[in-house]
Structure 1
Amino acid sequence: MADSEPTFRSLATSFTDFLTVAIHTILYERSVYPQTSFLSARKYNFAVRQSRHPKVCEWINDAVAAVESELFKGAVDRVAVVIYSKNNKPLERYVFEVSRFPKVPASDVDVPLERLDADGQQGSVLPLVDMEEQFRATMNQLAGCSSMLPPIPVGCAFTVAVELKEDGEAPTAHPQPWMPVQPRAPNDGASGNGVVTKPVRAVAAGSVLFETWIEQVNSDDGDG
């Protein structure tokens, strides 16, 4: 019974596993790397793609591990996979909004979440098997993202960015896995300010919720 009760550790690990698969899927769908450099795999009982390049896999794994470290601090507002042009101009942002993840003391990360009162809020969390069904539905949407987006220019690259909560402390450990940047301007979700937002899906796990959407930046930088 206890093994089926989600803890913050199992919740964070489930999300970072999902994030890893999502990054590979985005890179494949948007042809950031040649699609022939990806192999077929399965996750959440769904057909996915995974890069075969060891350096790409290593970079993704290191980035996701750094995200997980910040999640355990309760400091993360959003995680974004950013595709930018060869002129270093952002073109697309795949945003995973995780601000409603509970903030759990380090001593309680292995305690079932339903038994915790995190910041005065207590509520149910779905079994991980039910969350995986929602991960599969989200992956299905990401796997079809190219059908609702224009092609990106040749020579694009990507990175992973973390936006911290207002009270979040920027990571200062050495070696430094993150490069501090200025906060971006708020996006109102409309096609004004050069950004078009396309919703993907919300994953609800009882009292825990995270949302995924795509921000498309209208760019005329001539990279095409």
Structure 2
Amino acid sequence: MQVQSQINRNVITLKGSAQTVAEFFKFGVNNILYQRGVYPEEAFEAKKQYGLSLWQTTDEKLNQYLTGVLTQTRAWLEEGCLRQLVLVITEAGTKEVLERWTFDIDTNKDVISGSGPLPDKPEKEITSEIQAIMRQITASVTFLPLLETRCTIDILVYTTSLDSLPEEWEDSAPKTIANAEIVSLRGFSTKVHGVKAMVAYKAPCDDIL
């Protein structure tokens, strides 16, 4: 019975995986916004997650925005149609895109269709993989250019074909960065969803000769 119980705890369901990935997006986006100084330090409070001390916003409007995005994101993860989530950081005045944090999502089609068995993976292993990404995000300040102007954010979501968009969503330009510097980050997998991360950023003018 003990062995069987351990196996059951390691089985990854579609809803459980969607919850894990959506929660990662929540903490990941907040961590980026804090580390990059997009919002003031006093707009965040420390939270313990994944065995790490991470920062979560206390700004009511930002929380409402993120909650709305991530609630819909979780639904699309459960449907198996989410392909990519992108956090775009833009200079407020010029609307120039300064950073583009991209999270590619790969979905186990057999689980979505119900044609294959549910995979299993220890929660500890998934947590360890997520820890590695969070640490990279925290360390990003060592190589990313300082954001010296007031910035705004957008979250872009790419899906497979949808019959219709939710009312509060709209089509958007990709908001890319010309001649961007790109740094690949670590990824993690629940065996239902796999996430690969990268950041593209505008190179400092001194580096463009």
Is TM more than 0.5 here? Answer: yes
Deviations 1:82-116 (A, max 9, x none): 11111222211111110x2124558x6xxxxxxx5
Counterparts of 1:202-217 in structure 2, within 5 Å, are 202-206=187-191, 208-217=193-202
Shift of 1:41: 1.5
Q: Is the 8 A contact 1:83 1:159 kept in 2?
A: yes
Aligned length: 197
Shift of 1:70: 1.7
Q: 1:140 aligns with which of 135, 142, 145?
A: 135
Higher mean alpha-carbon deviation, 205-214 vs 20-29, is at 205-214
State, as a whole percentage, how many aligned pairs show the same letter. Answer: 18
CA distance in 2, matches of 1:155, 1:134: 32
CA distance in 1, matches of 2:104, 2:163: 18
1:32–1:217 CA distance, 2 compared to 1 (3 A): same
Match of 1:181 in 2: 172
Match of 1:52 in 2: 58
Question: Which structure 1 residue ranges, 5 or more long, are not aligned?
Answer: 109-115, 188-192
Shift of 1:73: 2.2
1:219–1:90 CA distance, 2 compared to 1 (3 A): farther
Counterparts of 1:51-200 in structure 2, within 5 Å, are 51-86=57-92, 87-98=94-105, 100-103=106-109, 104-105=111-112, 116-117=115-116, 124-165=119-160, 168-169=161-162, 171-173=164-166, 176-182=167-173, 193-200=178-185
Shift of 1:64: 0.7
1:204–1:31 CA distance, 2 compared to 1 (3 A): same
1:159–1:182 CA distance, 2 compared to 1 (3 A): closer
SS of the residue 1:172 aligns to: coil
Q: Quick check: 1:24 aligned with 2:17?
A: no
CA distance in 1, matches of 2:67, 2:24: 12
1:80–1:57 CA distance, 2 compared to 1 (3 A): same
1:80–1:66 CA distance, 2 compared to 1 (3 A): same
SS of the residue 1:143 aligns to: helix
Whose helix proportion is higher, 1 or 2?
Answer: 2
SS of the residue 2:162 aligns to: coil
CA distance in 2, matches of 1:177, 1:203: 30
Relative to the length of structure 2, the TM-score reads: 0.83
CA distance in 1, matches of 2:204, 2:47: 33
Match of 1:113 in 2: none
